[in-house]
Structure 1
C-alpha cells in the first residue's frame, strides 16, 4: 500500500499527542501512512494547505486553526456547520480536482469520553470558558439530552453567539461570569474548557462535586486543580486526554473512508491500543 501523508497543524504544537495516537492506530491497521506535526498559525494555514502536494491525505487541526480550517473547507459536516469549527480536513481528488471535506470530531470526543466513565445523559450542563471548545460542548450537551446550559466566561459578551447555537440545537443557553454560579440550575455535568494550569475558577459545593460529572478538557498538567477537587470528593471525572483519543479515533475513520460513522477493522483493539499509548485504561482513566 502506498505511503500517504497526514499531520496535525497548530500553535503551539510540540506537546501534541496526536502523532503518537495516529501512528499507533496505523501500525495496527497495517497502513504505511506518515503522520507528523507542524507549527502553523491561522494566517498561514491557507497558503500552506494550498502548497501541499497530492501525496497528502488530510490534516488534524488544533488551536488556533479551527475557524480558519472551516473557511478553507469546500464542504462541511453538520457538526462543523453548527459549531463553526473544523478540526479535520480530508482531501479527495488530485490537482485542480482536489476537494477539502471539513469535519468536527470534538463533539464525538466529548460524548464518547463521557460515555466511557458512565455518563450518557445530563439535563443541565455547565461550561467553564466561552471559547471554541465551548461550542462543541454545547452541541455535545444537546446530544446528551440536556435542556439547558450555563456558560461561565471571563467575557460573556464574546460568547453571545453560543446563545443562538443553543437555540439551533434545542437548548436554552445562559451566560454569566466565571465567578458567579448563583441563580442557575444545579448541573449534572460540568465541562471545564479552561487551561489545565489555571486555578479552579469556581468554588463548587460538595453536592455538585459528588453528584455531577466533570470533563476537564485540558490534560496537561494532570490533574488540574478542579479535577483534584472532584477526585478528592469521590466524583466522576473524565480526562481530556480521553477526549483527545476518542476524537482522534473518529478522525482516523475519516482518513480511512471519509465517513465518521464507518467503524475501523478491529476498532475496539485499535482504541484500546491508542488509550494505552498515552497511559489510559479502557475507561480513559490514567493508569497509576
Structure 2
C-alpha cells in the first residue's frame, strides 16, 4: 500500500496534492500540511492543482517517483475510476476521491474516503446505529451517504430531491445493492421522523425545509460550508439537535486519506481548528 512502508519515521521529498476544477477554494492543502506538521513529517508537501477531466491522465503520468497520493474532487470523482485498481467501495458508488501511486511491488490504487467523511463524524457525535434516515440531494456524495447509512444499520431512506427521476437514476442501483429501500419525495417537508438527516447539497438549504427536518430528528449533517451559517443552525440549537457540517466531513475523509498515504493516524482536533479558523 502506498505510503505504509514509512510508518514510524518521517519521510523526505514526498509529494501529495488535491486536483479538481475549480480548486482555488480547497481547504485540503491546509488540512494535509497541518497534519504533516502535527505528525512531524517534515519532508512532506501537499499542493493544489487545477485539473479537468481530460487532463487527469496526463497529470498522473507526469508525476515522478516522489509522488505518493492524490485527493480528487469534482469533476474528477468518476474519471478517477479509470486509473489503477479500484476498491470495491469506489466501484459500488461509481465515485472515487483518492489515488495512491503504485510501487515496484504493488499497482496504483483508487479509493473512496467520502463514506468515512459522512460516517465517522456521526459516530464520533454518538450515533452508533439508526433505522430511518433522510437524505437531501442525490449526487455522488449522496451515494457515499447511502453507504454510511448501510454501515449504521439504516432500514429506510427517505430521499428529498427536486427531480425524483434523476434521484432514482443516481441512487437506485447503489441503494439496491446495499439493501436500502428508498422512498423518494419531492422538494418540501418529507413528513417523516428520522434518526439522522444528511444534506449533501453544496449550497444552503431552504430555511423552512431545514427547520421541518430538524424538528423530526436527532442528528443533522449538512455538507455545505463556506456559504455562511447553515440553515440548520438556528433550529438545531433551539431543539438540542446535534449538528455537524461540511468541515467535519472534509476533515474526516482527509484523515483516512492521510492514513492511506502516510501510514500515520492524525488526531482530528488540530485539523478542525485549522479549517474553522480559515473558514470563519
TM bucket (normalised to shorter chain) is: 0.7 to 0.9
TM-score, normalization: structure 2? 0.87
CA distance in 1, matches of 2:222, 2:261: 27
Deviation larger for 133-142 or 23-32: 23-32
The answer to whether residue 119 in structure 2 is matched with residue 111 in structure 1 is yes
- Greater length-normalized contact order (CA 8 Å, ≥ 6 residues apart): 2
What residue number does 1:15 align with? 25
Distance apart, 1:242 and its partner CA: 0.9
What residue number does 2:247 align with? 241
Number of aligned pairs?
Answer: 268
The answer to whether residue 261 in structure 2 is matched with residue 250 in structure 1 is no
Distance apart, 1:271 and its partner CA: 2.5
Q: Which residues in structure 2 correspond to 1:1-288 (within 5 Å)?
A: 1-31=11-41, 32-72=43-83, 74-93=84-103, 99-161=107-169, 162-179=171-188, 181-182=190-191, 185-200=192-207, 202=209, 204-205=211-212, 208-209=214-215, 211-257=217-263, 264=264, 267=266, 270-279=267-276
Distance apart, 1:229 and its partner CA: 2.9
Measured at CA, do residues 26 and 80 of structure 1 come closer, stay the same or move farther in structure 2, by a change above 3 Å? same
Which runs of 5 or more residues in structure 2 are unaligned?
A: 1-10
Measured at CA, do residues 56 and 173 of structure 1 come closer, stay the same or move farther in structure 2, by a change above 3 Å? same
Q: Could you tell me whether the CA contact under 8 Å between 1:25 and 1:274 is conserved in 2?
A: yes
Q: Could you tell me whether the CA contact under 8 Å between 2:232 and 2:243 is conserved in 1?
A: no
Q: CA RMSD in A?
A: 2.4
Which runs of 5 or more residues in structure 1 are unaligned?
A: 258-263, 281-285
